[in-house]
Structure 1
Amino acid sequence: MTFSIVGRCAETGQLGVAISSSSIAVGARCPWLRAGVGAVASQNITLPALGPLILDELAGGLTAQEAVDRALARNGYSQYRQVAVVDTHGHTAIFSGSHALGIHNALAGEQCVAAGNLLASAGVIEAMVAAFEHSGGCLASRLMSALQAGQQAGGEAGAVHSAALSVVDDLTWPIVDLRVDWAEENPIGELEKLWLAYQPQLQDYLTRALDPTQAPSYGVPGDE
């Protein structure tokens, strides 16, 4: 019911997740990121707690695979979970339990991991990794390219209805955190529209937060 790409930019150190699902509000449960630590997609029969637990273990010094193994062991029912992780150094870990739904696959690439379940084919995940590795631009754009490649390769076996894109840099909050919680059709296309609208404003919002004296005006009442 979900396919995702977790990636790191080797140039900037940014970490991010792009994800889509047939379920509502996938962005509320599945992507977890922490600047300077790692990024996690926790999916299939989702346990949201796995994301923060894995990030805590990474912050404590465990490798990506050790962090996944320890978090799964602590919570049980690992056979129902699917997890993809990239740490702040670009090291990866993947796990797909024996009860992962339908056609499922998970694959690590260069500075990325893609994973999915209830897929149209296992090749969806391979297409996502290839797109991430060969696309240009900033991390968010590369993640979106990978998500779109997964959709074009067949995506889920059924329709998807939600999508999300999140990126962290060196701040305590995400510099990109965009969600389509429900769309009858093409939530990935709607997410792409959000990203294209937000991208030229991204730096302005960082400036507003970090140095209000240099904040650009948006021309609304009271905004001078």
Structure 2
Amino acid sequence: MKKYVTLALFSLMSLSFLAQDTFSIIAVDPLTGEVGSAGASCVAGAPVNWDTWITDIIPGKGGVNSQAYICIPNSNLANAINRMELGDSPQQIIDWLVLNDACNSQNFDPEYRQYGIVDLDESNNPRAAGWTGSSADDYKEDRQGPNYSIQGNILLNVGVIDNMEANFNNTSGTLADKLMAALQGAKVPGADSRCLADGTSSRAAYMVVYKPDDNPGEPYLRLVVSTQSNGVEPIDVLQDLYDNFLTVSENPLANKVFLFPNPASDFLELRLDDSITQGTYAISDTSGKQLVLESINSNTMRIDVPTLSRGLYFVTITTVAGTITFKFVKK
């Protein structure tokens, strides 16, 4: 059974306005056919779907990151994906976008845009291209490798790009592992220079990875950290969500026990496979203190959490079939 995971923090309706986004990476894995994107920004009001502002992916083919001065919805991003579907290479797509800018931010001037595009050609060879307009905010750069494009604007310095690239190239494992490592490379105060005073790299982060047989819009991995309070490092929050994703994926109960939503405001819903008829659930805080211990008496249960303070918690479900622990954020 294919498992789709969407983990996000904070909710806000998507509006049609202009925004700037900072550092990101988009990459393909020619061995697995996976395509993935990850990024972060010191942007206020980023909602649970803010990743869709700057990235889109065609499963098994390639993807586009479109950032700096953008429109929301991102018309240039949509056009880039259309050109990819028509068969254009990454460089051809960028050439077309520069001549056919479709965003009224900065009067349809492509010099305010930044793109990173990757794909797999008909022979399954990776290709990458980038564009950084001369009017995007400094420090700015896009940098390509054989199967990736890293791009950033409003950066502290070139070290942000250097560290992202080094971590991506020096990390073994899955494409998701490498993307997460790339973001960790940018986890320095002021990586997005607007967040320097807060002591964090950024305020929001995301990671999305598609397997080649995933449906468009339904990645097997999608983790979104929307705008955090001042002083909260979103890349650390994203790492926690990714670690939890890996733990759940490897557990034999992974496809039998589900807990959502995450983050939660007032309640969690616990759903168990029909084969699980009894057990317990416990909620503990990050110090290990157990706050709740209750019996499982139904395959669908509502767990009320309105009295919990904001922060990270653990829910451990113990059944005759085994034990599984979830992390969730109380907002």
Confirm or deny a common fold (TM above 0.5): yes
* Shift in Å, 1:154: 5.6
Indicate which of 63, 72, 78 corresponds to 1:39: 63
Q: How does 1:98-117 map to 2 (within 5 A)?
A: 98-117=134-153
Indicate which of 147, 168, 181 corresponds to 2:210: 168
Question: Larger strand proportion, structure 1 or 2?
Answer: 2
C-alpha distance in 2, partners of 1:216/1:22? 35
Contact preservation (8 Å) 1:32, 1:51: yes
Contact preservation (8 Å) 1:50, 1:72: no
TM-score of the two chains, using structure 1 as the length reference: 0.88
* Shift in Å, 1:40: 1.3
Structure 2 unaligned residues grouped into runs of 5+: 1-20, 102-107, 196-201, 259-269, 275-331
Indicate which of 201, 215, 220 corresponds to 2:248: 201
2:111 maps to: 79
TM-score of the two chains, using structure 2 as the length reference: 0.61
Indicate which of 217, 224, 244 corresponds to 1:179: 224
Which amino acid in structure 2 is aligned with residue 18 of structure 1? A
What is the root-mean-square deviation of aligned Cα atoms in Å? 2.2
C-alpha distance in 1, partners of 2:234/2:54? 16
Which amino acid in structure 2 is aligned with residue 188 of structure 1? I
Which amino acid in structure 2 is aligned with residue 111 of structure 1? N
Deviations 1:124-171 (A, max 9, x none): 112211211110111111101001102248622132110010011121
C-alpha distance in 1, partners of 2:24/2:139? 14
Structure 1 unaligned residues grouped into runs of 5+: 205-214
Contact preservation (8 Å) 2:127, 2:146: no
From the CA coordinates, give the structure whose radius of gyration is larger.
2
* Shift in Å, 1:72: 3.2
C-alpha distance in 2, partners of 1:203/1:33? 26
User: How many percent identity over aligned positions?
Assistant: 27
Q: How does 1:211-222 map to 2 (within 5 A)?
A: 216-218=255-257, 220=270
Contact preservation (8 Å) 1:121, 1:154: no
C-alpha distance in 1, partners of 2:257/2:26? 33
Question: Larger helix proportion, structure 1 or 2?
Answer: 1
